[in-house]
């Protein structure tokens, strides 16, 4: 396929990018003792982007013949020409860069394909049974397994020609506990880029089941927090969400050009000097990050970008178009979800670098506040840096001791004010972006991580006398 794409790209009269993408997905779901779903999906095609007269046009096709791809290329070129006429400001240039050539295979000692679906189904049947048997208050349970195998071949008319291969397995464990008409749930997610045993490298799934059940049950008795500004410790899971949703999107150069709060803030202080924040297509500090991507979909290597260095904003994230606009080198952040999508500026693995303070020390020196763990996968961040995220597990901390569990906690604030308030950065590190997916018009597998950090933000809770 790469040879065919290279041949079509080299004979194009205009700049063109041809991306073959085959995605093979499998999904197994067991719920309440029943195998609810065993499914597989294949989605294969070629996405073509043409750049003509300062405008992009895009077309996609699942016809993989030379003539089918050529027809789609003509559609993309025509669309670009039509757009060039209507566009106010034409794109002056795409940034020049050394473009990738060769093969970029996934390196794993234990490929997913070496394990049968029977084996994978047997594991999740066993884990789901463990959820139900773990505690008498469990009223509902589900465990699901998903794997996504991507094969890409990409060629551009200015010289990129390479193949990429990745496999991404993931596991989700849901426990719902109930008592006296009240219900509470806990959802645990695990995901990696890698093979079968890589999925269980950081933690064993049986431990995750025990944790999910314990927290679902404990939440039944938990009280609601009192709303207001509080000192909090965020775990790596919440740090990853803050880094990705509240900071990361606001440094994607297309969002910056759209008027994000980070516009004109380069080389200014936006965070405490204890904070250094990076995005990297490589899996630094720990292996198997979900957003592992050594080369982006434009053929630019992604070896990492320092976004915030000791509190100072140093760089945005770019594709070739935005890098051309800002007259900087592209950072390798152009990504497309499926063959039907055009590459956008996207994060890969976004994280805060670890510091020096042990978690125990942060808790011991806290007079009144909360230790917050886990993102509940609800929330939103705004282009002015305001955010609101749900928290899975919130513990009250009083006089240096972790005391009671509280339920239904949300946190909100301005991301940059929150980072300016950071007074301690932990000495550990984990990849923990809980959903593994980012949505920005298209889905993308990403990761995030960091240490524990201590900061100040607003806790959402109740005022006295309210319903619920």
Partner 1 sequence: MGRGELLDRCQQAVRMTTDLGADQAEAYAESIDKLVARAEKSDLQIFKGQMETAIGVRAFIGGQCGFASTNRLDQLDAVCRDAIALARISPEDPHNVLPEPQEIAPIASLRDEAALTLTAESAIEYAASMLREAEKMDGRLIVNVASFNSSLRDSAVANSLGIGAEQSDSSFIYGVVATARDGDRVSNFDEQVCATRYIREIDVVRPVRRACENALASLDAEKGESFVGSVILAPGAVADILVRAVLFQISATNALNGSTRWKDSIGEAVAVAELTLLDDGHLDGGYASCAFDREGSPRRQLPLIEGGMLRAHIHNAYSSHATGAANTGNASGTAQSPPGIDTTNVIIAPGRQTSEALIADVEQGLLAQRFSGNVDPISGDFSGAVKAARLIRHGRLDRPVSGTMIAGNVFDILNHISGISSDREQILSQTLPFVRLENVSVSA
Per-residue binder mask for partner 1 (CB under 8 A), 108-137, x = binder: ---------xx--x----------------
Q: For residue 439, how many other CB atoms are within 10 A of its CB?
A: 9
Q: Which of residues 280-309 bind partner 1 (CB under 8 A)?
A: none
Q: Which of residues 23-42 bind partner 1 (CB under 8 A)?
A: 31-32, 34-35, 37-42
Name which of 315 and 376 has its Cβ closer to partner 1. 376
Q: Does 439 sit near partner 1 (CB under 8 A)?
A: no
CB of 297 to partner 1, least distance (A): 14
- Of 71-79, 300-308, 419-427, 429-437, which segment contacts partner 1 by CB under 8 A? 71-79
Q: Does 382 sit near partner 1 (CB under 8 A)?
A: yes
Q: Does 367 sit near partner 1 (CB under 8 A)?
A: no
CB of 46 to partner 1, least distance (A): 12
Q: Which of residues 146-185 bind partner 1 (CB under 8 A)?
A: 176, 178, 181-185
Name which of 282 and 312 has its Cβ closer to partner 1. 312
Query: Minimal CA–CA distance to 17: which of 59, 67, 65?
Result: 59
Name which of 68 and 304 has its Cβ closer to partner 1. 68
Give the binding-site size for partner 1 (rule: CB under 8 A): 84
- Of 70-78, 165-173, 267-275, 327-335, which segment contacts partner 1 by CB under 8 A? 70-78
Q: Does 254 sit near partner 1 (CB under 8 A)?
A: yes
Out of 16, 19, 58, 330, the only residue in the binding site for partner 1 (CB under 8 A) is 58
CB of 307 to partner 1, least distance (A): 19
Out of 397, 409, 425, 446, the only residue in the binding site for partner 1 (CB under 8 A) is 409
CB of 271 to partner 1, least distance (A): 17
Per-residue binder mask for partner 1 (CB under 8 A), 325-364, x = binder: ---------------x-x----------------------
Name which of 80 and 171 has its Cβ closer to partner 1. 80
């Amino acid at each position: 396929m790469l040879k065919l794409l290279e041949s079509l790209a080299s004979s194009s009269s205009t700049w063109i990018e041809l991306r073959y993408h085959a995605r093979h997905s499998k999904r197994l779901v067991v719920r309440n003792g029943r195998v609810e779903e065993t499914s597989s999906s294949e989605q294969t095609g070629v996405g073509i982007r043409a750049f003509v007269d300062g405008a992009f046009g895009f077309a996609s096709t699942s016809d993989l013949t030379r003539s089918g791809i050529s027809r789609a290329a003509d559609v993309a070129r025509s669309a670009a020409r039509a757009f060039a006429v209507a566009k106010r400001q034409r794109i002056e240039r795409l940034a020049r860069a050394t473009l990738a050539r060769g093969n970029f295979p996934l390196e794993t000692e234990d490929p997913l394909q070496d394990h049968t679906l029977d084996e994978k189904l047997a594991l999740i049947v066993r884990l789901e049974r463990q959820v139900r048997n773990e505690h008498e208050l469990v009223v509902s349970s589900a465990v699901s397994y998903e794997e996504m195998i991507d094969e890409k071949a990409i060629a551009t008319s200015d010289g990129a020609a390479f193949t990429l291969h990745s496999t991404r397995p993931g596991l989700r464990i849901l426990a719902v506990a109930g008592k006296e008409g009240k219900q509470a749930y806990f959802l645990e997610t695990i995901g990696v880029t890698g093979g079968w045993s890589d999925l269980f490298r950081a933690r064993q799934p049986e431990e995750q089941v025990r944790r999910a059940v314990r927290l679902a049950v404990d939440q039944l008795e938990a009280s609601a927090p009192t709303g207001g500004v509080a000192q909090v410790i965020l775990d790596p899971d919440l740090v990853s969400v803050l880094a990705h949703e509240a900071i990361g999107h606001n440094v994607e150069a297309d969002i910056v050009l759209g008027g994000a709060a980070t516009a004109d803030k380069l080389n200014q202080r936006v965070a405490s000097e204890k904070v250094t924040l990076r995005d990297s297509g490589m899996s630094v500090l720990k292996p198997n990050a979900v957003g592992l991507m050594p080369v982006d979909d434009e053929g630019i290597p992604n070896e990492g970008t320092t976004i915030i260095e000791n509190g100072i904003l140093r760089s945005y994230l770019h594709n070739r178009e935005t890098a051309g606009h800002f007259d900087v080198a592209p950072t390798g952040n152009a990504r497309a979800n499926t063959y039907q999508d055009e590459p956008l500026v996207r994060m890969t693995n976004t994280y805060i670098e670890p510091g020096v303070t042990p978690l125990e020390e942060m808790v011991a020196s806290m007079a009144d506040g909360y230790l917050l763990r886990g993102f509940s996968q609800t929330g939103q961040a705004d282009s002015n840096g305001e955010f609101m995220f749900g928290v899975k597990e919130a513990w009250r901390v009083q006089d240096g001791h972790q005391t009671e569990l509280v339920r239904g906690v949300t946190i909100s604030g301005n991301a940059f004010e929150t980072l300016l308030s950071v007074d301690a950065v932990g000495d550990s590190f984990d990849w923990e972006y809980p959903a593994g997916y980012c949505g920005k018009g298209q889905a993308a597998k990403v990761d995030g991580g960091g240490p524990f950090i201590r900061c100040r933000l607003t806790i959402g809770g109740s005022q006295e006398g309210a319903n619920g």
